[in-house]
Structure 1
Amino acid sequence: MLYWAIVCLVIAIVAGILGFGGIAGTAAGFAKILFFIFLVLLVISLVANAVRGKGPKI
C-alpha cells in the first residue's frame, strides 16, 4: 500500500510540473489517503503483535 501512495505522489508531482493542476491535486489527495490507511494498518499490526507477545522479527 505504501508503494501505491508513493506512485500517486510521483504522478501528482509530474502532473504539477506539467501544469495539470486538477490531476495533480486529485493524485496528491489520493496519495495522502493511501498513506494514512497504511499508517493505520501499521499501528494495528504492531498492536496486534504486542498483544500476542511477539516482538518484531529482526
Structure 2
Amino acid sequence: VSAINASTINPARVLKIDHKKGRIRANYDADLVVLDRDYSVLETFVLGESVYKR
C-alpha cells in the first residue's frame, strides 16, 4: 500500500491537488496509465478517456 500511496495520493497532496487527483474515486479525475510486466505503457487515460493504446 505504501508504494501505491507514494505514486498516487502523496504527490497529489504535495501539489495540493488531492481534492481531484491521486485516488480512483467518484468525482476525481481518472488519469491512469496501464503498464505491462516490463513497465511499458499499454494504455493511457486522461479524464477517463483513452488517449493512447498500444
TM-score, L = length of structure 1: 0.28
Structure in which a larger fraction of residues adopt strand: 2
TM-score, L = length of structure 2: 0.29
Computing the radius of gyration over CA atoms, which structure comes out larger, 1 or 2? Answer: 1
Structure number with the bigger relative contact order (C-alpha 8 A, sep ≥ 6) is 1
Structure in which a larger fraction of residues adopt helix: 1
